[in-house]
Every structure is written in structure tokens, then in C-alpha cells.
Structure 1
């Protein structure tokens, strides 16, 4: 398989700003509803059983995360066919509509449907935005930094979302007919922000760009280039480790009776560390060619951080371990996304959609496995140890990542 590319035009500041805003809003839309999900479940299910409600909250979260497994691939393929801008606009508008519908859900079943559709539309934004950057950025330093900024925008959304959700849930809206339940306010706010982001994308992004022309595969040839499957597998394993870590951290907090304030502090620390580390690695201080060498050490450091988690009981010790794990995880995902975009012989939308699906699959598997292991007596610590072992194997597998050709050879 070979690729012939049209000459790339640099991404304008306005276009990049619209993409960053879109990534931020989608991440914020996910996080902003988390503080009010318990109230939503209790109201819709009519149950005060904490075990039942906690299970439903976990399933609702899993439904959102699992939706992109199939949807991301389709969005990426469609963006190759009809252009990046229409897919981004449809994804953001669909995200807004399904958020608003979820806010007004009359039953728990409708809320489940809303969360699945919400995650499916959200899956359009990440890979399509990255594909737009890959289409337009032909200079290595600029592309690397833009990929890092997209990841940082998502982290910022995750950081701001839960805090903002808790604050706006205290507001009381009156639409003239009936007072809006407080738990619906975060949904409505995030929906409005998604509409604003869609308008921004529609205004500043160009129409369909000249995309890659992919020559047909020869009979018997593989659709993957050398090393591509390894990169996708590493992305899935990293996501599984992060999913296991997030669920395990939540349940470990319950086990130690630290309370929601301590848990919020740990997750805030996680986001801040990820943001800071990505800001450094994707700055002009680090050459893009050197980032390939950071993947294996990041996996190894993440394995060590996960392995020591079961032995820690103090908040200060856990915050340090959280910082170690989050710093490593924050590097791995955008670095792998960048290298996949560099070696792929397929169109960028399809390729990054495939990677997004792999990440979603890993995140779902890791989260489910962590919940399952914590459900068994005396196996709570196994969540972190199994994840640590997987990260150690990934470190070995990432010692020799494929070397991509220079971008000018792809142009």
C-alpha cells in the first residue's frame, strides 16, 4: 500500500482554537455530569439502596466509555469521505442534543440510551480533530505540539467538569412552566457549550480538504503497515491500565474510608500532573524524534506506580503514587496517537478512528476488570498488580517502536 498526499496547509490559529475548544467541551461534558449522576439514578430508579445505585452509576459510566469502540471507527471513515468539518459539527450537535435529552430522561432506561448515544457522538470529535491536524500540519514540531495540545484540552475539560458540575447543580432554573430539577442543570449547561463549539467549528474550519489518495491493496497484502498493530495494542493496554487505575483508586478510597474530598483531591492531582507533563514534553524543548524514546520508560514508571498502590494507606503517599501513574499515562496516549499518525499508510480519519476505538476498548476492559477484582475478598490489591504486570510487558514491547519516514516524504 502506498500513499500520495496533497501539499499540506498549516492549521490556522482560529481553526486550532476551535478544535481545542471542541475537545475541551466534550471532556467537560463527560465530567460535569458525574457529581449529579447519583441524584439522577436515585430519582429515576426510585431506590435508596446504595449498592444498587452505585452499580447503576458504574454501568452508566461504562456505557458512555464503551460507545466509542464501534463509533470512533465509523466517524473517522466518514470524515475521510465527506470532510472533517461536517463530522465535527454533527458530532458536537449530536453530543448537545443527547445531553439535553439525558437531562430530561423520564426513566433509567432512557438515561442509559442517552449516555450510550452521548458517548457515540463524543467519539466523533477526538479522532476527527486529530485527523484535521494531521492533514494540515506538514512540519514535525507543529504537528507534535498540536497533538499534545488536543490531549491537554481534554485533560483541562476533565479537570474543570466535575467541579463545575457540583457548583451549577446548586442553581435553580425556572423555565416558566416548571422549575428544572437541580441535577439537570449541568447537562443543559454542557449542551449549550457543545452547540457553541459546533458553531465555532462551522465558522472557522475550512470545508473538505484535499485528502490522501489511498491506492488499493494488492492481493494478499495487509491493511496494516509494519509496527502499526503493535502501536494500537500498546494504546489499548495503556488505556486498560488507566481505566483499572481510575476505578481501583475510587474503590481503594472507599476501602480506606478517606471520603469524597480526598478522592476529589487525588483526581485533581491526576489531571494537573498530566497537564503539566504534556505541556513540557510537547513544548519546543523536546524534539519530536525524541518522543519515541519516552514510551518504554513511561510504561515502566507507570508499572512501578501501580505496583506500590496496594501498600499505601496515607493520603500523602497515595498522592505521590497518583502523580507518578498520571504523569506516565498522560504521556503514553498522545505519543502513541502521534506515532500512529506518522507511520500509517491509510487515511488519517480512518487510522485515528481505529486507534480511538482501541483506546475505548482498553478503557472499558480495564474498568470492568478492576470492578470485578475488587468484588472478590482479598483480591482488591490484585487490580493494581495485574495492571502493573501489563504495563511492564508493554514497556518491553515498546522498546523498538517503528521509525516513520520524514513528513516531507509523505507530503
Structure 2
């Protein structure tokens, strides 16, 4: 009976009218928005040390490292609450509006961060940047959940969204290093090289907003508000809390792994090139695994059978990182952990969207907040 009620609520949430399936152009705009946000995060990572050193006027490596860590944490922390709020707002004013506001806000805060005159302004810019970025992911997924008719199509579309984000993380740091070599002149003074990646990502975010505004229908609004449960019962659907915990644990495991790689690389004195190779391997393996798992070759319903083994493999990979000493062994551990994360990461959002009795934006905002909390 509970499952029937959940499905009834989900159907009402989507709206009284049947919604047209997402077109390839519309899905491309959503994929581009996920790619741009991930790229905007990754493109500035290579130049953050230069920004901190210039704005703080400090040359102490320990001080600069702490500031970079705090700046990264500020970006991620801002997305915890913002993801939930943006998902809720997208149910009130429409998906397209929230996506456009998120992308434009992301562009403006990137540009403001590029031109920051002090370290405090850079912190404010990164916090706002993370908040606007958080509006894009859950809203785009909610739009897919609203418009994709079949569960298989929705699962594969969710997987493609995750792949678009990974691609952005792969391209971002490389593009950031290349962009530092560009010289821009705004007519008043030459722009410092470290600000160019911020401005480049800002321009791409504006282009993404224009694409979303042009290709997404603006007349699709979520249906009437649906209560998740009866008075006195849990506000979450059966099994939803476990899915949220799974999303947070997977994100925490991957985040801890990234930190462990950085610390272990420094301890073994492998150098920046080795660290870059390990992170590139992580992203490429995740991209390849998701491309396979969410391809037509694999039945989406069978993906759930891979979660428990993937968690076990991730745990084993995390356990051996502290005792590995060679680059080849480290690359093997990277491949193992990133393959596991590639299987696990996109699935909680897809399952939450299936069992939800509330509006998709709100539910996927909560799931995105759980991921951010884990990170």
C-alpha cells in the first residue's frame, strides 16, 4: 500500500498533464550546465595558490596551504544548504528559471573572485560561487526526472549527467593551466594571469545559461504540492534515509581518498606530475566505468547488484593507500577506488527520484545536500 501511495504522489508531483520526453537538444543543454559547473570548480584549482599568495602577501607554504584548504571547504560547505533550497525553489518557480539564475550567479561570482582585492573578498566569492553551483545539479536532475518517461531512460540520463560532471573535472585543471598563459587587456590594465581561468569559466557559464534559456521549455511547472507522508509518520519514503546515507558515505570515501592521495604524494616526494597523473587516472576511470554501467549494454535494474561489491572494493582500496610506496601501486589503488566510486555515485540520486512522493526538486536537493555533506 505504501508503494502505491508513493507512486500516486510521484505521479501528481510530475503534473496533471503528461509531459513530453526530454529532447536531445534539451538534454544537451542540461549536460552542458553540469559540465560548465564542474569545469568552473576545477579550472581555478591550479591558480588558487597564486591568488592566495598575491592577495595575502604571504610566502609561507603552510599558511598558503591552509588558506587553499579553507577556500575549497568554503565552496563545498556553501552547497549543503543551497542544494536543498534551490531544489525547493525550482518546484515553486520552475526548473529553467532556477537553472538560469544558478548559472548566471555562478558566472558573476567567478568574475568577482577573479577581481577580488583582498583575501576576504575571495572567500566571499568562493562561498557564493559554491552556493550558485549547487543550484544547477539537483535542478537539472529534477527536470530529467519530470520529463523522462521510463525508468531506464531516466537512469541512463542521470548517468550521463554524472559523466558530464566528471568530464568537467578532467578538463578544468588542464584548461586552467593553459589559460594562465593567456594575456588579457580590459582597456585599463592588463589582467593578472591567475585571474584568466576565473574569467574564462565565467564566460562559459553565461553561454550555458543562454543555452538553458533557449532550449528548455519555460512553461513546465511542477504540479500541486504533495505531502511526503501522513501525519505522524516519517517524512521520508521507505528506504530513502539509507539512500541518503549511501550518497554521503560514497562522497566521503572519495573525498577522503583525494586527500589521502595528496598527503601520500607529499610524504613520498613524488612531485606534482605524479599527483596530476593520479587524479587524471581517477577521473578517466570513473568516466569509463560510468559509460559502461549506464550504457544500453547493462540493464539499469541490475546496477543495484553492483553497489555492495563496489563499497567493499572501495574500502579495500582506501585501506591499502597508506602502505603503498610506488607510483605503479598507487595508480592501481586509484583505479580500484575510482571504479567503485563510478559505480556508486550516480545511483542514489536516481533511486531517490524513483521512490519519492514529494516534488523532485526538493528530494534531489536533499540528496545533493547529502553528497555535499559527505564531501
Alpha-carbon contact 2:95-2:221 (below 8 Å) kept: no
How far has the Cα of 1:46 moved from its partner?
0.3
How far has the Cα of 1:76 moved from its partner?
0.1
The alpha-carbon distance between structure 1 residues 193 and 51, as it changes in their structure 2 partners (threshold 3 A), is same
The one-character-per-residue Cα deviations of 1:191-211 (angstroms, maximum 9, x if unpaired) are 000000000000000014252
User: Which of 129, 135, 147 is matched with 1:136 structurally?
Assistant: 147
Secondary structure at the aligned position of 2:295 is classed as coil
Partner residue, 1:311: 323
The reply to whether residue 119 of structure 1 matches residue 130 of structure 2 is yes
The reply to whether residue 225 of structure 1 matches residue 225 of structure 2 is no
Partner residue, 1:183: 194
The one-character-per-residue Cα deviations of 1:156-189 (angstroms, maximum 9, x if unpaired) are 0000000000011011111121010000000000
Alpha-carbon contact 1:82-1:208 (below 8 Å) kept: no
Partner residue, 1:28: 39
Partner residue, 1:50: 61
Partner residue, 1:284: 296
The one-character-per-residue Cα deviations of 1:10-31 (angstroms, maximum 9, x if unpaired) are 1011100000000000000000
Secondary structure at the aligned position of 2:235 is classed as coil
TM-score by length of structure 1 reads: 0.87
Partner residue, 1:75: 86
Alpha-carbon contact 2:226-2:359 (below 8 Å) kept: no
Secondary structure at the aligned position of 1:231 is classed as helix
Alpha-carbon contact 2:91-2:221 (below 8 Å) kept: no
User: Which of 158, 168, 182 is matched with 2:179 structurally?
Assistant: 168
Secondary structure at the aligned position of 1:170 is classed as coil
Which is further off, 13-22 or 211-220? 211-220
Partner Cα distance (2:180, 2:21) in 1? 41
Count matched residues.
363
Partner Cα distance (2:205, 2:139) in 1? 16
Partner Cα distance (2:329, 2:319) in 1? 13
Partner residue, 2:212: 201
Which is further off, 168-177 or 52-61? 168-177
The alpha-carbon distance between structure 1 residues 317 and 176, as it changes in their structure 2 partners (threshold 3 A), is same
Partner residue, 2:359: 347
Alpha-carbon contact 1:23-1:150 (below 8 Å) kept: yes
Partner Cα distance (1:246, 1:253) in 2? 11
Alpha-carbon contact 1:85-1:208 (below 8 Å) kept: no
Partner Cα distance (1:39, 1:210) in 2? 44
Alpha-carbon contact 1:100-1:187 (below 8 Å) kept: yes
Partner Cα distance (1:219, 1:167) in 2? 57
The one-character-per-residue Cα deviations of 1:262-315 (angstroms, maximum 9, x if unpaired) are 000000000000000000000001111111111111111111111111111110
Partner Cα distance (2:355, 2:340) in 1? 23
Partner Cα distance (1:243, 1:180) in 2? 33
Alpha-carbon contact 1:98-1:117 (below 8 Å) kept: yes
The reply to whether residue 263 of structure 1 matches residue 275 of structure 2 is yes
How far has the Cα of 1:141 moved from its partner?
1.9
Q: CA RMSD in A?
A: 1.0
The one-character-per-residue Cα deviations of 1:211-264 (angstroms, maximum 9, x if unpaired) are 244444432122101100010011111111111111111111111100000000
The reply to whether residue 237 of structure 1 matches residue 246 of structure 2 is no
Secondary structure at the aligned position of 2:220 is classed as coil
Partner residue, 1:249: 261
Partner residue, 2:49: 38
Listed as ranges, the gaps of 5+ residues in structure 1 are 364-411
Listed as ranges, the gaps of 5+ residues in structure 2 are none
The one-character-per-residue Cα deviations of 1:30-60 (angstroms, maximum 9, x if unpaired) are 0000000000000000000000000000000
Alpha-carbon contact 1:95-1:194 (below 8 Å) kept: yes
TM-score by length of structure 2 reads: 0.95
How far has the Cα of 1:142 moved from its partner?
1.1
